[in-house]
Each structure stands twice: as C-alpha cells, then as structure tokens.
Amino acid sequence: MQLLSSNIAQDIINEGFAFGADFVDVFIERTHNDGMVFKNSRAEDIQSGTIFGIGIRLIHGEQALYGYTNSVDREELLRITKLLGARIGGEGKSLNLNFEKLTYPKVPTLLDKEIDAKHKLAHLKKIDEILRMDTKVSQVMLNFTKKKQLIEVYNSEGLFATEERPYIRLFHQVVMKDGNLQTEAFYGPGAIGGWEFIEKLNTQEICANLLKQASTTLYASPCPAGKMPVVIDNGFGGVIFHEACGHLLETTSVEKKASVFWDKMGEQIAHSAVTALDDGTVPGAWGSLSIDDEGMPTQRTTLIENGILKRFISDRLGERKTGHKRTGSARRQSYKFAPASRMRNTFIQSGSYQLDEIINSVPDGIYAKKMGGGSVDPSTGQFNFSVQEAYLIKDGKISRPVKGATLIGTGPDIMAKISMVGRNLELMAGMCGSVSGSIPTTVGQPPIKVDEILVGGEA
Amino acid sequence: MKSLMEKVLNQVIDQKAEADLMFASSKTLKMSAQKKAISTYNVSSTQILGIRVIKDGRVGLSYTESLDEESLNLLVKQALQNTETTEPNAHERILNLSGSLSDELSIPEEEVSIALKTERALELEEGVKKLDPRVSSVPYNSYSEQDYLSHYLSTKGRFTTYRDKSYSITSSAVMDDKGKKSSFYDFQTAHVFKDLKFQKVIETALFHARNLLEEKSLPTGKYNVRFSEDSLESLMNCFSNLYSAKASIDQMNPWSNQLGCEVISKDLSIIDHPSFDRSFRTSKFDSEGVERKLLTLIEEGVLKSFYHNSVTANYFKTQSTGHASRSAGSPLGVYGTDLIIRGKNVKPLPDRYLEVIQMDGLYSGANRVTGAFSVAIKGYVWERGEKVGTFGNITLSGNLMELFKNVEVVGDELLASTDESFFSVPLIFHGVSVAGT
C-alpha cells in the first residue's frame, strides 16, 4: 500500500506548477524505530516509535522552497504548497502526469532478520558479562537501534520511486576505572540489514579490543604537542578524509563558493598516492542506498584519482547551481529536511604499503590507531578531530601509548601530505551531521601516513 | 488535546498500568538568501506524542507522529509490549502530582508582513557583502521563527502547558584576502520580531571574520586564557554530567562521591537559575510537572547538589530538584536550566592572556568521564589591556575540573552568552596547555 496516493501527489505538483515552479517533488516517509539502552547491567530504556511525514519541495530556478507536515490530508498539503508557491508568485500550467514506478538495481542488503526483544536482551547481557569480567570496568553501555525507513518520491518529471531501508546498529561503550584514573572506549558497528548483522559480529573480539583500548588509554601519558608525522590506521581513521576533504566536495558547499575546492575541478588537490571514492553501492554498508532521497539510483563516484579532483558529490539543486551532474547523493535525515548533497560510503582506496612499512618510515611521530569524531569549516578547510587510541612512534617503532591527542589542519594542506597509503581498507559506520540533518555514513581508509600535522596535546 | 491525551491514558489505566504523556507541536518558518534572493524557504507544521508506561514496575516507551485512532492504539500497545522486556525499576514511578500548571509566554506584537521578514532576511546576506569586498560568501544566513506548544499529562492528573514563540537570525562572513581565508558567524534570538538586531549580528560576524584574516599560530606552551561567554557555556554544557545525579548512577560522573567536598576554586559559586530575570526564557516546571526553583550546585567551591528527577531522587532518597528532562521521543533524563557562575575575590587582569572566541571539535575531543578535552581555538591576544593580535590554527587541551581549580575572578559583572541562558563573571584560567608552532 502506498503512503500517499498518486492523485494527491499530482494535485500537489500541479499546485506548485500553477505558481510557476519549474520542478516539484514530494517525499513521503514512514520510519519505525526500535531502541534498547542497556546499562547498569540491565535494559534501562526500551522504546518504539513511528515517524511519518511529507515534505514538499518547489524549485524555481535556483530557489528551493520546502515545507513539511505530519498530515496526509489533501487540503493541508495543498495549503503548504500554496504557502510555498506564493513565494514564487508566478503563473504556470498544470501537468498531466502519468507516474511510472522507477525500477532500479537494488543494492544488496542483509536479510533484515527480525528477532524478539528477549533474544536481543540476552545478547546484550552476554556482552555486558564479558566486558565486566575485567574488574576495572565500572560501566558498560550498549545502545541497540533498529530502524526501518520506507520512503516514496513523486516528482514533476513523472517519477514515482520507493525504497525500504532497514538499518541496524549496536553501539558499545565501556568505562574503565582504576583509582583516580578513568577512561572510556567505543565501538559502533552498523549496517543496512537486520539482526543477522549483529549475529555475525565477533563479540569476543569486539570486547577484547574495547578492553585493550580502554586499559591502554587508562594508563597512557599525555600526548606531546606540536607538528609531526602521523600514521592513521584504517577503519574509522577515514574520518580524516571525511572531514578534511569529503565535506568540501559536496555541492552544498561548492554552490556557495564556501568550499576551498569549489574551483579546483581537474586540478591536483591531493598527493598522487590518493584515490578517493564515495560509493553508495557497497553491499550491506551503513551508508548505502539503492536510490537517493530524490529517487535517483545511487552510484559509485570517483572523487579524486591519483590526487586529481574528478567529481563533486551532487544533488539536483547542486547540479542546477554548479553544473556538476547529480551523483545519487541527495540525502536527508527525515522528511523534516530538504535533501542536500551528502556523502554515503566515503573512503580512500587501498595502496601498496604494509602498516609496518609505514610505521618504519617515521623516526618520530604519532600512530593514531583509533580516531574519534571531528568537524570541519568548509569555507576555510580547517578541520579538527580527536584520537581515541594513540601511540608514540620512535625510530620507526611503536612506543608508549598517549592520550588527549587532537589533530588539526586544513583540508588542502593535509591532502597534499598523505604520502603513503597502505593495503588494508576497512569501512566503519558513523553518523554525519550537516545541513540536511544527521545521516548514516561510512568512513574508511587503509592505513595512511601524513607527513606533518599539528597534534594538540600537553604543552 | 487534553481530552485526546486523557483518552490515551484511559487505555493504560484499563491495563492496570500508569503512564505519562508528552505532546509537542510546532510551526516554523525559515528562510535564507543566496545571490541576493531567497534561496531556501521552509515552512512546517508537526506534532509528536510520546508515552511512558509503567506496569508492574517495568517501564516501556513509545511515540508517534500520527494522532489517528489506529496510531494511538499502537502507541499504547507498543509501550506496554516494551514493559515486558525491561526489568523492574523500583525507583521509576509516575509522580504523585495533580493539578494544572501553565507557562505560556505571550508578548503582544504587531503582525509583521512576510514582505518585511523577507527584506530583513535578504539583509543577512547582502548586508555583510556590501560592508567589505573581501567577503567571498555568506554561507550561513537565515531568518527563522517558531511557535511551540507542549503538554504533559499523567495518570495521577498532573497537566502542564508550555507555549513559546521565538525568532532567530544568523549571519556569517567568509573572507578571502589574497589567499588568506577566515570565517565567523553570529546569531541572535528574540521573543518579538522588533527585538531582532540584524545589523549587530551582521557586524559581529564581519568584525571577527576580518580580524581572523590576520590569525597566526602561537608557540606551544602554557597560557592564561579567558573564554568568551559562548565558549564557556559550550564547555559547561559539554560536561553537564558533572551535575547530573543520573550520570552518578551511571558511573559517568567524576564528582559522584564529592558532595560536600571542595571541587573547584573557593572563589566561585555555580547556580542553576530557572527564573533569572536576565534569561532569554525562564522555566516554571520540568518534564514531570515538578515546579522549578533555584538550585545551588556549587557554593564557594563546595559541591552542594546534583540535578535530580523523580527517579534519581528515589534512588538517592532525596527530593526531585525539578530537573527532569524528556521530549516526546526520548526517555526520562535530567538537565539543567540556566547556569550562573558568580565570583568573589576579584583580581586584576593579567598582563597577557588569550581570549578564546571560537572552539571547534569540543564534543568529539571531550571525555566526559575524566573531564579532559582538546579543541581547536581562535581568538585574540591581549597585553596590558589592549588587543595586540589574533590567533588560530592552535589547540587547547585541558581538564575542566582542573581548570576550575586554577582560575581567578577578574570582574564582578555577570556577562551573558549570546543565547542569554548562561551568565558568568569574567574568569581567567591559568597555565592552560596550548599547542601551536
């Protein structure tokens, strides 16, 4: 059963055109969320909820008008369309649309296996027990989320597209304490799929890694400060590319000339060792989509090839404003946001070096084994991100652990300084917040070496 | 709405359970400009209803954005189902409060035409550009307004109404001068349109962006630091777990065993003030319908109290302080209202200090369990009362709990953050680690 009848969609689109809009789309969303927060060795909060709403977008030239409501009532939807249309204030003719349902290749997902709450709880209890076998663990917090998002898109080009997206994620957080020393460690794998994703995770290995990370940082000394070479390991290390470069390649920034790369198409913007992609088609990956939120089949997009800027991440409005073709990257948190060009699964492609070779090349620097989050100002390219687990490198060997490291720099500068790229590409799930809300994205990279970066730590 | 909420609660009562409901609705208008035209124009009308059911001591939560009968039935059914998996929590009960409370801010104002709103919204972009040819773009500019209404209703009969109208404007400046780049943004909120200060927001964004064009790194070392009120507010909000009884239960509060102990400088007192006369918005009750009152968190350096809701109060065998926080779509937590840092023993400003006006990466670089944080900072260098330089591309690292032990009060006037929800006397933090050249 459709969430919104095609007749009402047609009426909305015609109303928008009557005011002179040259493109109208209607986005309908019903998302069911299930969540379980497990802490203090018990299920503390179990929550279910449904969000439902409709977003209406009128485009006139480069102007976008957007409205949304929870109501499916035709009159309310037309009222909002009129409110938006009045901003254009023009005149146009109605369309006689014959919506054709879009067929598209489905990006393979996992099975979306359902499981009852008691089994989920038993699994979380098991993780809690394993982690608490370490007597220094003072708290374990496990946040299980499952979301099933059903979307429909109608537009004035006669498109009708629909997709169901099952998301699943289990966020682990462990707090460790020894006397006055305290620290925490995180791990948050996620996928497009169901419970089978959780079943496939190696719980013992995850717990062992979390405990190792926490116990390492618990006794680590403060990180020295200053400019130095940094080796960033694979997986969530990809946040460096996401922040330092990825956001700057979204037409959302490019169209406002608020990206330092806005006029650099075809130019060398990174070291020749760097090839980077934004790929919405990775099977089962947290940031994958079959269609984007404008109903366009998603793509595998080469952004940088051997250091040369090849493509921007573009949506419909971005294409209008910049001329750069859409890449199936229009995304939004929910119907409450107009779509914008956003990253999906973004990563640096594998190179030829082993991690040991990269470490051995550094006489004095930092090995960032696990990165935290970060942020960027696209207009200046200045970024910052935290390091969760770090070690000193002395004479090409990993030395003692350090804590409190922050890396800061500018995108163009850092991209030119990635001089070595390793072999083992790994992707990691995360949430990215930007103009169209918080969305699931994957970051990733093989191990890389940045020749020089400012490390913030203890003076 | 109250009758609909009562109908839902009656379903719960029929199941021999108790519950409370949170309803929220909002209507918004937002517009922003690009290339001298309104480029985005958003209108919305949304609602959400959330329920917390307690049956046999077990809690279940659910929410819906559709208020038709089928959705409401499902709301109750899901919440009851969720109670079947949770374990009993003797501390979580619906508070035994009844009667109605209302907190409705209604300031009369003349109707403002959409044409005038549009004209002023356009200024937030063009007004910046025309003041300086080096402004390459104004990526963040917006005018927005919101009508917000929420209700709380419990099976014990507590009913509250909260209503607010607010306006907000943002402007920014990205500057490019011979390859040197900088950016800054500013914002303001108001309860009536005429109180919006468009020109001030424009000029503030431009003022700092111009200065930051000249930013230079600083040598790595220890510095005296003064945080702007906005920066200090961000820090205090990031580490709000320090005052949270819920965080204490969760082993996430490093001060959990420090009640009655000196935790920061004796020169400082920190108060949570729900009805401060300079606040942007006072608050009469919390998300469980408990009336709020002033709470002294720290008095002359000594930790006096935590924020409590009914659950944490039951756990610690005390009273709720009126700091329950819950939205329709979230579980019960605790959160503060407006913080005031008062000081005594005022000292003169040091000869040299850094004024931090922008911090980036606070939330990703903060460890709430230890109080440690590391951020990228920008701001001004002051020497003998004069601004002598602009810094950037450096990081500041520290531990909030330690910083507040090594602090001096350098004035007695309470200064407000931009959003007028945080107030502090001017403070200088000594020996702060900065990493640069």
- By CB atoms closer than 10 A (0-12, 13-18, 19+), residue A123 is buried
Domain that holds residue B188: 2-212
Q: What is the pTM of this model?
A: 0.88
Residues B131 and B227 placed together within one structural domain of the fold:
no
**Tokens at residue B113, please?**
């035409």
pLDDT score, position A95: 81
Residue that terminates a domain, selected from B162, B186, B212? B212
Residues B351 and B327 placed together within one structural domain of the fold:
yes
Distance (Å, rounded) from C-alpha A318 to C-alpha A329? 10
Residues B224 and B159 placed together within one structural domain of the fold:
no
pLDDT score, position A410: 86
pLDDT score, position A430: 92
Question: Letter for the amino acid at A445?
Answer: Q
Describe chain B by its helix, strand, coil percentages, rounded to 5.
Answer: 20, 45, 35
CB B79, CB B155: distance < 8 Å? no
The total number of residues written for chain A in this structure: 459
Question: Letter for the amino acid at B204?
Answer: T
DSSP string, A321-337: HH-PPP-S-EE-SSTTS
pLDDT band at A89 (very low <50, low <70, confident <90, very high): confident
pLDDT score, position A459: 61
Residue that terminates a domain, selected from B212, B228, B263? B212
B435/A68 CB distance under 8 A: no
Distance (Å, rounded) from C-alpha A131 to C-alpha A205? 11
Tens of pLDDT, residues A383-436? 888 888 999 999 999 999 998 888 888 888 888 999 999 999 999 999 999 889
As for how many domains chain B has, the answer is 2
CB A65, CB A87: distance < 8 Å? yes
B250/A372 CB distance under 8 A: no
The total number of residues written for chain B in this structure: 437
CB A438, CB A336: distance < 8 Å? no
Residue that terminates a domain, selected from B165, B184, B212? B212
A377 strand-pairing partners: A382
- By CB atoms closer than 10 A (0-12, 13-18, 19+), residue A454 is buried
What residue segments make up the domains of chain A, in order of their start? 226-456
Nearest-CA distance from A63 to chain B in Å? Answer: 4
Residues B33 and B141 placed together within one structural domain of the fold:
yes
Out of B50, B63, B137, closest to residue A258 by CB:
B137
Distance (Å, rounded) from C-alpha A58 to C-alpha B306? 49
Angle at B41 between CA B36 and CA B44, to 5 degrees: 165
Tens of pLDDT, residues A314-338? 999 999 999 999 999 999 999 999 9
Nearest-CA distance from A347 to chain B in Å? Answer: 20
Nearest-CA distance from B70 to chain A in Å? Answer: 12
Q: Residue A299 pLDDT > 90, yes or no? A: yes
Overall average pLDDT of the A126-144 stretch: 96
Question: Tell me, what CATH number does B41's domain have?
Answer: 3.30.2290.10
Nearest-CA distance from A415 to chain B in Å? Answer: 17
Query: What's the Cα-to-Cα distance from A263 to each of A171, A340, B56, rounded to whole Å?
Result: 39, 20, 64
Name which of A187, A235, A286, A227 is nearest A422 in CA terms: A235
Distance (Å, rounded) from C-alpha A236 to C-alpha A372? 8
* Neighbour tally for A33: CB within 10 Å: 18
Name which of B137, B212, B140, B133 is nearest B180 in CA terms: B212
Distance (Å, rounded) from C-alpha A297 to C-alpha A219? 49
Give me the interface pTM, i.e. the ipTM: 0.85
Distance (Å, rounded) from C-alpha B356 to C-alpha B34? 30
Give the 3-state secondary structure of residue A207.
Answer: helix
Out of A67, A405, A459, closest to residue B434 by CB:
A459
Distance (Å, rounded) from C-alpha A147 to C-alpha A438? 14
Out of B42, B181, B435, closest to residue A455 by CB:
B435
Q: Residue A260 pLDDT > 90, yes or no? A: no
pLDDT score, position B39: 85
Q: Residue A225 pLDDT > 70, yes or no? A: yes
Distance (Å, rounded) from C-alpha B364 to C-alpha A431? 12
Residues B222 and B205 placed together within one structural domain of the fold:
no
pLDDT score, position B233: 97
Residues B332 and B407 placed together within one structural domain of the fold:
yes
Residues B33 and B75 placed together within one structural domain of the fold:
yes
Nearest-CA distance from A22 to chain B in Å? Answer: 14
* Neighbour tally for B419: CB within 10 Å: 17
Query: What's the Cα-to-Cα distance from B113 to each of A110, B117, B201, rounded to whole Å?
Result: 52, 6, 21
pLDDT band at A239 (very low <50, low <70, confident <90, very high): confident
Closest A-chain CA to B328 = A49
Residues B333 and B362 placed together within one structural domain of the fold:
yes
Contacts of A454 in chain B (CB under 8 A): 393-395, 435-436
CB A362, CB A231: distance < 8 Å? yes
Alpha carbon of residue B209 to chain centroid: 25
Q: Residue A375 pLDDT > 80, yes or no? A: no
Residues B177 and B236 placed together within one structural domain of the fold:
no
Distance (Å, rounded) from C-alpha A294 to C-alpha A280? 14
pLDDT score, position A151: 96
Residues B352 and B237 placed together within one structural domain of the fold:
yes
Residues B177 and B96 placed together within one structural domain of the fold:
yes
Out of B250, B367, B397, closest to residue A183 by CB:
B367
Contacts of B43 in chain A (CB under 8 A): 66-67, 80, 83-84
B147 strand-pairing partners: B27, B165
Cβ pairs A/B, distance under 8 A = 237
User: Going residue by residue through chain B (437 aa), what tens digit of pLDDT does each one get?
Assistant: 999 999 999 999 999 999 999 999 999 999 999 888 888 889 998 999 999 999 999 999 999 998 989 999 999 999 999 999 888 889 999 999 999 999 998 888 889 999 999 999 999 999 999 999 999 999 899 999 999 999 999 999 999 999 999 999 999 999 999 888 899 999 999 999 999 999 999 999 999 999 999 999 999 999 999 999 999 999 999 999 999 999 999 989 989 999 999 999 999 999 999 999 999 999 999 999 999 999 999 999 999 999 999 999 999 999 999 999 999 989 999 999 999 999 999 999 999 999 999 998 887 778 888 888 888 899 999 999 999 999 998 889 889 999 999 999 999 999 999 999 999 999 999 999 998 88
CB A315, CB A340: distance < 8 Å? yes
Q: Residue A88 pLDDT > 90, yes or no? A: no
pLDDT band at A81 (very low <50, low <70, confident <90, very high): very high
Give the 3-state secondary structure of residue A458.
Answer: strand
Q: What is the torsional sign of CA B309, B314, B317, B319? A: positive
Question: Letter for the amino acid at A199?
Answer: E
Contacts of A70 in chain B (CB under 8 A): 45-47, 65-66
Residues B231 and B124 placed together within one structural domain of the fold:
no
